[in-house]
Amino acid sequence: MQNSCRFLHTTSALFAAEFRQCFELPAQYDYRQWFPMHMSVQLKKMEAKLRSVDLVIEVHDARIPVTGRNEQFFRHLYAIRPHILVLNKCDLIDMKRYKKRIEDYYYDRGVQKVLFTDCKKRLPRALNDVKTSMLYALENTPRFNRTVKTEYQAMVVGIPNVGKSSLINAMRTHTLGIKRKAVEAGARPGVTVRVQNRVRIMDKPPIYIIDTPGVLSPDHRNIEDAMKLALCDLVLESHVNLYYLADYLLFWLNQSNDFSYLKLLGIQEQQKEPSDDIQVILREKS
């Protein structure tokens, strides 16, 4: 381990100056196609549902807690209804290192509640935190002329493949003990393509929740943000050129002084040096 650390430190000092300082895609590669037309249509349908919604639950990927959040959601949804931010897939990050930094970032920017979940493992403590936060928000904010109704209704929103449907299923199992899926969930983006019918997730008080399709921001002009979304599998693979994705990953690792790919690919054992050329890396691996 010590030899490996010395290797990485020395490598960082020797080769950092040779690495690219910015990432570029060929001019003809248009990543704006990642925003299908149905997404804008579904966003309008979400807005139409707001009249009957008491709470908006935003689900995002904890690996990219800031990158990729759709600003249109804030303008059209959060500014009108109470909002909870749930960062899912927290098992894929170093919580001891990043949890407080992420919370501080959002609390400084006015977000009232930030929660971390792993809906695959369905950890009871995390799901109970979501339940408690939902109840507090619902019972302590105005109901917008819906005081005559004894039931509550929430809406889950977010970009594709962050775990919106999984959160609904997990909450339903956690609170009602029903293991059968209420909404379809999958390991790829785009499983939910339209605003769904509401699902009952709690009895006391009665709470219903609406699942919605993932909606990417149409204004992703930042190449690096778009690449991070693709690396986390939040964009349909058919829309992504894997060669450029691998090239961005190499760029990011080198910029982060993380040369662990040398050992992972068996390049370090060959006494080869880090490279900023994806073709060199692919050739060494093959």
Domains annotated for the chain, with CATH where assigned, are 33-211 (3.40.50.300), 220-284 (no CATH)
User: What pLDDT is recorded for position 17?
Assistant: 52
User: What pLDDT is recorded for position 10?
Assistant: 47
Report which DSSP code applies to 36. Answer: -
Q: Mark residue 112 as left, alpha or beta (left: phi above 0; alpha: psi -120 to 50; beta: remaining).
A: alpha
| 165 annotated to bind ligand | yes
Helix, strand and coil content of the chain, in percent to the nearest 5, comes to 45, 10, 45
| 158 annotated to bind ligand | no
Give the Cα separation of 39 and 35 in Å (integer): 7
pLDDT top residue among 23 and 122: 23
* Contact in structure between 13 and 274 (CB atoms under 8 Å): no
Give the Cα separation of 23 and 245 in Å (integer): 11
- Name the percent of the chain lying above pLDDT 70: 80
User: What pLDDT is recorded for position 143?
Assistant: 67
User: What pLDDT is recorded for position 122?
Assistant: 79
84 forms bridges with which residues in the sheet?
57
> What is the tens place of the pLDDT at every residue in 146-178?
556 778 999 999 988 899 988 999 999 999 988
Give the Cα separation of 87 and 64 in Å (integer): 9
Residue in the block written with tokens 């050739």: 283
Q: What is the mean pLDDT of the chain?
A: 81
| 163 annotated to bind ligand | yes
pTM, to two decimals: 0.82
User: What pLDDT is recorded for position 7?
Assistant: 42
| 88 annotated to bind ligand | yes
Give the Cα separation of 31 and 27 in Å (integer): 10
| 162 annotated to bind ligand | yes
Q: Which range has the worst mean pLDDT, 89-103, 177-191, 194-208?
A: 177-191
* Contact in structure between 203 and 230 (CB atoms under 8 Å): no
- Helix 124-139 and helix 164-176, axial crossing angle in degrees, nearest 10: 90
Give the Cα separation of 152 and 80 in Å (integer): 16
User: What pLDDT is recorded for position 219?
Assistant: 61
Q: Is 80 exceeded by the pLDDT of residue 26?
A: yes
Would you state the torsion angle of the CA atoms of residues 168, 169, 175, 179, taken in this order, to the nearest 10 degrees? 170
Give the Cα separation of 265 and 251 in Å (integer): 16
User: What pLDDT is recorded for position 8?
Assistant: 44
What pLDDT band is residue 5 in, cutting at 50, 70 and 90? Answer: very low
| 166 annotated to bind ligand | yes
Give the Cα separation of 172 and 150 in Å (integer): 19
| 89 annotated to bind ligand | yes
pLDDT top residue among 39 and 51: 51
Give the Cα separation of 220 and 33 in Å (integer): 11
User: What pLDDT is recorded for position 4?
Assistant: 38
Give the Cα separation of 261 and 264 in Å (integer): 5
Residue in the block written with tokens 């370090």: 268
pLDDT top residue among 105 and 213: 105
User: What pLDDT is recorded for position 15?
Assistant: 53
